[in-house]
Amino acid sequence: MMRSLFSGVSGLKTHQTKMDVIGNNIANVNTTAFKSSSVTFSALMSQTTQNASGPNATTGTGGINPRQIGLGVKSGAINTDISGQGSAQSTGNPFDIMITGDNFFIVSDGNSNFFTRDGSFYVDGAGNLAMTSIGYNVMGWQVDPETMEIKKDTVSALRIMSAENMTYPPESTTKAYFSGIIDKNDTDVTSSSGLIRNVNFYDALGYSYTAKLTLKATDTAGEYAFELDSIIDSKGNVLEQDFSKILGSSGVQTDNKTDFTLAKGYSLSGGVLSYNGTAVVTLSNILEAAAGDNQGALRESPGGFTADAVINGQTYTPAQQYEMAVNELAKAFGFEGSEKAFYTYWIKADTATPPAYQRHRLTADILSADIAQDATNRTLHADQREIQGATIDYDTNTGKFKGISGADNATAVTLRLSALGGEFTDITIDFETSSMYDNKGTSTIAGKNGDTKGLGTGRRLGKMTQVSIQNNGMIYAAYDNGMTRLLGQIASAEFANASGLTKEGDNLYSASTNSGEFDGIGVDVTANGGYFSTGVLEMSNVDLSAEFTSMITTQRGFQANSRIITVSDTLLEELTNLKR
C-alpha cells in the first residue's frame, strides 16, 4: 500500500518537471534563436518479489518470469532540440545574422568563449562586432596584412570599424590608353589648333587632375603628334613646374666659324657651359643653344659636345645659319618612348629666309651629362626626353596602329609627371587600341585612365559607405571611391553533441565534457553545408500546438497520479477502520 503512495508522489514530481519544461518553452516562444526542450520519463526502480526460473527438461515444467513491482517514475532526460531550425524573421539590420545549420556563433567576454545562435549584433563604440543584448564580442578570423586573405588561426574579436578601416587609401594613376578612330579627313585633326582630348588621373594623395592633350596631323601621312597642353586640377588651376625656365634672346651661330656667341649672361669654354657672364669662346664642336636668364651652372662633361642635326631630312652643316628657339619649359612634361641617347628640341628655319616658318626637329647626341634639381648644378642624363609631343604612327594602307615614332614594337609613351613632386607618378599611355580609318570626317579617339584591363586607373581617398556580410561570414567594406576591402570573417563552432552544451543564460551555451571541446579556431560555417543570412534573425523553434498537447497529457498524468495518492489513502483508511 505504501509503495503506491510513493509511486504516486514520484509521478506527481515527474509530471511537475515536465510541466516546468513546457512552461519554459512557451515562455520563450518569442526568444531569438531559442531551442525548445522536451522531457522523457523512465521507470524509477522495481522491487523483485520472485526471481525468474528457466524451463526444467527433467520435470517438463516451463520457466517462470520474475515478479517485480515498480516503485515509481523519474525524469529520464531533458533534451534540447538543437537541430530544429527556427523560422526567419526579417529585421533589415545588416548586422542581424541567422545561421542555417547546426553551427554556433562564437562570442567572448574577454576571458572565456561562449556559443550562441542569437545573431542580433551591432558595432560598439570601439568598432567591434558585438552582441546587442550583453555586449560580448563576436569572434572570427583576421586578414593577413601581407596576403590580404583570411588567416584561419585562433579566433579574436572582429574590429570591423577601426580608424584604418574607415577609409581606403588613394592611389596615383600609372596607366592610360587611347581608344577609337582617328579620321584623316577630320578637320579638327588637320587644323592648326588640333583635336583636344583629355585624360583624367589621380595623384598619390587622391586628388584628381585632367591632362589636356592636343592631337595634330604631321606632314607625314599616317603620323599624328600628341602634345601636352596643360594639367588642370579639380579646382580649375593650371599646374606649372619651374624647371629652370629658359627665357630671353637666343644666341646665334655664325656661318662656318668656330666662334660661339651667347647672349645675356652665358659663356661656354672647354666643354663647360656656365651662367656667369657673357663671352665668346672657341670650340671644336659647335652646338646651337637657347640663351636666357637663370641661376646656377649647366655643366657638360667630359669636355665636349657632338651634335648631328636634321632639318627637312637634310644634314645640317655649319654653312647654314639657323636660330634655335627652345620653347619655355614652364610645363616640362614629356613623353618617353624607346630609350635612346639624345635630346629633342623644336627649331625653326632662319628668319633671314623668306617668311616660310616651319617647325623641324633637331636631334643631338649627348656624350655624357647629368641634371641636378638644385640651382647651382644641372646635369643632363643621356636618355630620351621629348619635352613636348610624341609621334603616333599608323599604317596608311591598313589603318592599323604601327608604333611610336615609327617603331613597330613601341605601343606606349610615358607622360612625365614626377617633376611635379613626390605625389605624382609617371603615366604610361597605350595607343594600341586606337586605329586610323575613314569615319566620315569624325574622329572617335578618346583617352581613358587605366589600361584595357582596368588596372592602374588610380583612385581618390575613399570613405566607408557600407559593410556587407557574405553567407560564408566574410565581411567586406565598400567605399565611395568604388573600392572594397575584406575586413575579416565570422567564425563558427560545431560540436559532436550540440545537445550536450550547457545553457548559461542570455542565449549562451558553454562546452561541457559531453558536448566536445572547442579548439579555439572554429570552422567555416559553409564547411558542412551551413550558411549565414543577413538582415534576418532566427526565431524560437517552439511549436505551440505541440506544447499545448503536451500540457494536456501532462495535466492528465498529474491528475492520475494524484488519484493514486487519494485512492491509496482511502484504502489505508479502510484498513484502519477494521479495528472498530
Using CA atoms, how far apart are residues 355 and 474, in angstroms rounded to an integer?
Answer: 73
Write out pLDDT tens, residues 513-560. Answer: 999 999 999 999 999 899 999 999 999 999 999 999 999 999 999 999
Using CA atoms, how far apart are residues 357 and 360, in angstroms rounded to an integer?
Answer: 10
> What is the reported pLDDT for 422?
61
Residue type (1 letter), 258: T
The side-by-side arrangement of strands in the sheet containing 401-404 is: 195-202, 208-217, 223-233, 390-394, 401-404
Residue 501 DSSP class: P
Using CA atoms, how far apart are residues 340 and 363, in angstroms rounded to an integer?
Answer: 11
> What is the reported pLDDT for 172?
82
Length of the chain: 580
- Distance between terminal CA atoms of the chain? 20
> What is the reported pLDDT for 207?
82
Domain ranges for the chain = 2-83+542-577, 88-168+477-538, 247-325+340-382
Task: Say what the pTM is.
Answer: 0.62
Per-residue pLDDT of the chain (580 residues; tens, 9 = 90+): 688 899 999 999 999 999 999 999 999 999 999 999 999 999 988 888 899 999 988 888 899 999 989 899 999 999 999 989 999 999 999 999 999 999 999 999 999 999 999 999 999 999 999 999 999 999 999 999 999 999 999 999 999 999 999 999 988 887 776 767 666 677 777 777 777 778 787 888 888 888 777 777 777 776 767 666 677 777 777 665 433 333 333 333 333 223 333 333 333 333 333 333 333 333 333 333 333 333 333 333 333 333 333 333 333 333 333 333 333 333 333 333 333 333 333 333 333 333 332 333 333 333 333 333 333 333 333 333 333 345 555 555 555 555 555 444 455 566 656 555 566 666 676 666 565 555 555 666 666 666 667 677 788 889 999 999 999 999 999 999 999 999 999 999 999 999 999 999 999 999 999 999 999 999 999 998 999 999 999 999 999 999 999 999 999 999 999 999 999 989 888 888 887 6
Supply φ then ψ for residue 455, to 5 degrees. -95, 150
CA dist list (Å): 87 to 29, 80, 158, 536: 12, 17, 27, 10
